[in-house]
Structure 1
């Protein structure tokens, strides 16, 4: 008999596009959801207008979803806590919230990245800062373009947790007529798939920005998946995870969609814009893969895994390598068996 409590009340820490979209999913599944918003204007808009126009314009939010700028009141009585802040700010935010977290409850990461300097996956950061067992931490990964999910377009995702019963409880708490989730116990594979695809999407965007066609982009996606899988295998992930939603599914969506910030950011780099110009055009926001490419390459070096596409993206973003030089370098690598 499982001792995992049914998820009825959910705290979502972060009112960005993905945090708000996932909060909407859980409210549509009949859960009471309270979102923590850093800005009072966003909290007021969610409560008074049933909308978050800054991140999901035109989307009507359900009545079971409310918001507050008071983290303590958001977390009080929560059966599950969703962490929906960017990967590189997760540690600092969690340090503030740590003492407020409800004891024994499941912590869920929506962030997709590898922390700079420590090279920890997001679940590892949560375990480290919150001081909780690893089997209390779940991650959500897959083709998770927030705008499409908020618009209730059918999609599937993966909820990964070392404790299968916790994953099932979360699966039950976020199943709707448009959102289907699968469970998995391979947290490592799901997190690396989610982090790695951002970097590969930058490479695909660079190729598209250079005017290269479908063959080039498909080659980058496929070889990118091989890189992510090699790194995952070295860290103990199940290779089959990368053939699923958290691997191939997430990779295809992020590399193909104009809604993907990493793909769009890469296109600007491919057209010859500098990192600063691309950031300015992206409303001052850096795409997740721009930071993750550094930590992922360091992680690969630590485990002796070759990551040629990720390393090329890193040098375009941080060492001034041109898009043309990147393409020539990758296509001129020593031939080898697939």
Structure 2
């Protein structure tokens, strides 16, 4: 099985390692030639996965055509807001029967499309060829071969099983699901809730507050997912609660760390500097999901609060007061 992983960030590099460890012929595409050279010559990607040794079987290239040539599984590991532009360039090079796997977790700004919808629109691939990978998958832990699991969601269960087999390594256990909508909504929204959890920690709040945000965050994610046709059971699984807990509680989570810096009074630029110049996906997603929720007629108060901090300049302390002062209702 030949696999192309497009994107050599921490998660793309980690997944490429997993595919290679699972026995697939794996090529990792890096935007910068020096990153590909380091991977090939030193077996490391020091910018994103410091002190992690990559397998000899993993090849890297800065040539997209070389990576995609003959690939039966194409893993799209670029950020959600750049997926469309990248895929426009790559689509003509992708095999007509390749399975496309999305790693991006977000809702496209302006169009409010899920990533699988963007992939279908740009590539012309039928939805049955598009899979989504989601779960409690902190890249560094998996790169260090700590046991973890994930969900491969695809409308075509046979394709989901194909990816499952290609990605099954001794330390990594994939499950299958056909609820693509649920997996994508869970994956996009959890980044926003993780920002809220980080903000609360930055303000000096404790575990009760974080538990409240996770639990009520899951409730609003489920409301949005159900309104869009998702199976509510998905949100009780790895792609829902599992991903949410990992992202909201771990210091390895960029969204949580970004939110913590905001909670301590930092600006978006301060938080970006603290996360090595990277903007957390949840910052952009908070606007897209806030607007999507309005279109769906779904109330998402935590998402609205994060949107207000990130895009309207509202103080974190004011959003806490607003959330706690909402009208009383049954759970």
Normalization by structure 2: what TM-score? Answer: 0.99
- Residue 12 of structure 1: aligned partner: 5
**Which structure 2 segments of 5+ residues have no match?**
none
2:168 to 175, 179, 183: 175
Aligned-pair distance for 1:281? 2.1
Instruction: Return the alpha-carbon distance in structure 1 between the equivalents of residues 270 and 161 of structure 2.
Output: 44
Q: Which residue of 1 aligns with 2:149?
A: 156
Following superposition, the deviation at residue 280 of structure 1 comes to 2.1
Which among 242, 250, 254 is matched to residue 243 of structure 2?
250
Who is 1:290 aligned against?
283
Q: Does 1:77 align with 2:98?
A: no
Shift of 1:317: 0.7
The 4+ residue runs of structure 1 with deviation greater than 4 A are none
Aligned residues: 331
Q: Secondary structure at the match of 2:27?
A: strand
Aligned pair partner of 2:297 in 301, 304, 320: 304
1:104 and 1:111 mapped to 2: Cα distance? Answer: 21
Q: Whole-Å Cα distance in 1 between the matches of residues 57 and 224 of structure 2?
A: 41
- Give a deviation string over 1:39-98, Cα, whole Å, max 9, x none: 011000111111111111111111221011111111111111000000000000000111
C-alpha distance in structure 1 between counterparts of 2:65 and 2:91, whole Å:
11
Q: CA separation in 2, counterparts of 1:20 and 1:323?
A: 34
Q: In the TM superposition, what is the alpha-carbon distance from 1:283 to its structure 2 partner?
A: 2.1
Distance 1:80 1:282 in 2: 31
Partner of residue 35, structure 1: 28
Deviation at 1:105, TM superposition (A): 0.9
Name which of 54, 60, 64 aligns with 1:67: 60
Deviation at 1:103, TM superposition (A): 1.3
SS of match in other structure, 1:120: coil
Deviation string for 1:89-138 (max 9, x for gaps)?
Answer: 00000001111111111000011000000000100000010011011000
Q: 1:271 aligns with which of 264, 267, 275?
A: 264
Specify the alignment match of 1:4 in structure 2. none
| In structure 1, C-alpha distance between the alignment counterparts of 2:276 and 2:22, rounded to whole Å | 33
- Give CA deviations for 1:274-315 in whole Å, capped at 9, x if unaligned: 112211222221100000000001110001000100010000
Deviation (angstroms), 1:337: 0.8
Q: C-alpha distance in 1, partners of 2:280/2:168? A: 29
**CA deviation digits over 1:208-261, x for unaligned, max 9?**
000001111100010000010000000000000000000000000000000000
- Equivalent positions of 1:193-204 (< 5 A) are 193-204=186-197
| Residues 22-171 of structure 1: pairs in structure 2 closer than 5 A | 22-171=15-164
SS, match of residue 5 in structure 2: strand
Q: Does 1:326 align with 2:296?
A: no
Cα distance, 1:177 vs. partner? 1.1
Deviations 1:163-191 (A, max 9, x none): 00000011011111110010000000000
Q: Per-residue CA shift, 1:135-167, capped at 9, x if unaligned?
A: 100010000100000000000110000000000
| SS of alignment partner, residue 149 of structure 2 | strand
Secondary structure of the residue aligned to 1:306 is coil
* SS of corresponding position for 1:329: helix
